[in-house]
Amino acid sequence: MKDNMPATISRQPQPAPDQQLHSQVGKTKHQDVLAWVNCGPAGNTPEFLSWESLSNHLHFHLTVVQLAININRVRPFSEDSANLDFLRSVAVMSVFFAHLSAFVRGHASESAWHAGQLGVLMFFVHTSLVLMMSLQRSKAEGVELFQSFYIRRFFRIYPLSAVCVLVVYFTGYRPSAHFVYVAWTLKDLFANLFLVQNLVFARDMIYVLWSLPIEVQMYLFLPFLFLLARKSRIGMFLLLWCAAVVVAMIQPHLTGRLNLLSYGPCFIPGVIAWMLISKTKTRLPGYLWPLAIAMISMIWVLSDRKTEMYYRWAFALVLGLAIPQFSEIPWTWVKAVAKTIAKYSYGIYLSHMFVMSIAFIVVRHRFSQSGVFSYFAQWSIFFFLAFLLPYAMYHLIEHPGIQLGKKFADRVLHPPTPKLARVAAEEGDSVPLAVAADGECSAPMLAEEVSVCESSAQNTEATR
């Protein structure tokens, strides 16, 4: 009988349950927390739990559940998202390597065409999503919302594209795998400068410019979609996407000028993605994001030319629905590379045809009799210009244009006011201003009267 009795539990000093929990969580980093459920020493039978022990046990289990929930808790989603950088990088590199294949082979294969179009479709979804975030961040309302948005987009897109168009016009050569001389007309020049080739049936002076008119014309509608999305549910925008598909199917039978309507279903999913971001409570692991992009891309890659538009619309919708479902990609080096490529992506998009034409047409022709040296020269020039041109275009043209657009947009959102008037408005005091004969405000007056003073000063200046 004595041998069958349980051994007496020795009451050895034990760390507090909270200390045990935090120590164990720190050691396991949330991986083995669920496996740790015993408070007594290993190999011993737990003693009868007092109310205090039960409370500590309950606190522990609630903490474990909370940790499990927090693993995939949504983090703030912004334009600086590594996932969006990765998507934009994949988009521009798809276009880049599609055209590189055409230059190296001497012709564009079907797979290269699919890759290039895939990149453009990703751009459309990505652009509308990022611009929804930009509109939200501006916190502008009314007319200021539209004015600031259009100003920023103008200075973001037009300066760099205009420089590239002018280079093509004055050299007379279109950058392409054939690189032949073209007699450009003024119609071609101004249509490409204003990015309205599709509206006037003008030739694209750079092949990749075909997508910019569609994107720029979509900018006209994005603020309206933003205002509508703020007060709508996801279901309404899914119906709007269906309606856009119907319009897109009808458009080719009406006119070729409004091909923007054919790509409407490719932009709306970006708005849907923006709406889903605030509603998504948990996300899938970030390391699955590249795999998800590859799998979703198969929708478009498997398409055929006869029914290609249906696949474009389906791909864009699935991509838009998928973007908010994933956490940020975890790899630091991937984030860094993606951020750099995304930063220079517009310059890469516009310049890569120039780079390839110079390296694989001009240099090849110059060293056509040099054998191995010819290949070395071609690829050396290619890699050098592929890095140099986007970098120079961004820092010399694109970034200054962005800053200038931001400056003008800020003036719309925050009109400048006289320094003394701002001080008076903040302190609710009088400010020593009045309209003198020379149009300056110099006598004491209340802050509420400053606007009258300024108006009188302006009238005085106009009289001069």
What is the extent of the structural domain holding 435? 419-463
Same domain, 335 and 391: yes
Cα 167–Cα 391–Cα 210 angle in degrees, nearest 5: 50
Distance of CA 296 to the CA centre of its chain: 18
Same domain, 396 and 429: no
Judged on CB neighbours under 10 Å (0-12, 13-18, 19+), 191 is: buried
Q: What is the pLDDT of residue 34?
A: 39
Asked if the structure places residue 8 within a domain, the reply is no
Distance of CA 338 to CAs 161, 332, 373, 392, Å?
A: 23, 10, 33, 19
Distance of CA 327 to CAs 290, 352, 373, Å?
A: 12, 32, 47
Rounded to an integer, what distance in angstroms lies between the CA atom of residue 127 and that of residue 153? Answer: 11
Instruction: Residue 339: name the closest of 156, 40, 83, 133 by CA.
Output: 83
Asked if the structure places residue 2 within a domain, the reply is no
Same domain, 431 and 398: no
**Amino acid identity for residue 202 in this structure:** A
- The residues, ordered by sequence, that sit 6+ positions from 382 with a Cβ below 8 Å of its Cβ are 355, 356, 359, 360
Using an 8 Å Cβ cutoff, are 200 and 211 in contact? no
Using an 8 Å Cβ cutoff, are 158 and 195 in contact? yes
Same domain, 60 and 180: no
Same domain, 21 and 165: no
Same domain, 220 and 89: yes
Q: Is the dihedral of CA 272, 273, 274, 277 positive or negative?
A: positive
Same domain, 138 and 55: no
Same domain, 315 and 384: yes
Total domain count, the chain: 3
Same domain, 23 and 117: no
* Long-range contacts, 442-449 (Cβ 8 Å, 24+): 447/421
Q: What is the pLDDT of residue 366?
A: 83
Provide the residue-wise pLDDT of the chain in tens; the chain has 464 residues: 444 444 444 444 554 444 444 444 444 444 443 343 344 444 444 444 455 555 555 555 555 444 444 444 445 456 679 999 999 999 999 999 999 999 988 888 899 999 999 999 999 999 999 999 999 999 999 999 999 999 999 999 999 999 999 999 999 989 987 778 889 999 999 999 999 999 999 999 999 999 999 999 999 999 999 999 999 999 999 999 999 999 999 999 988 888 999 999 999 999 999 999 988 777 899 999 999 999 999 999 999 888 999 999 999 999 999 999 999 999 999 999 999 999 999 999 999 999 999 999 998 888 877 777 788 999 999 999 999 999 999 999 999 999 999 999 998 888 876 654 555 455 554 444 433 334 344 344 444 444 444 454 444 444 44
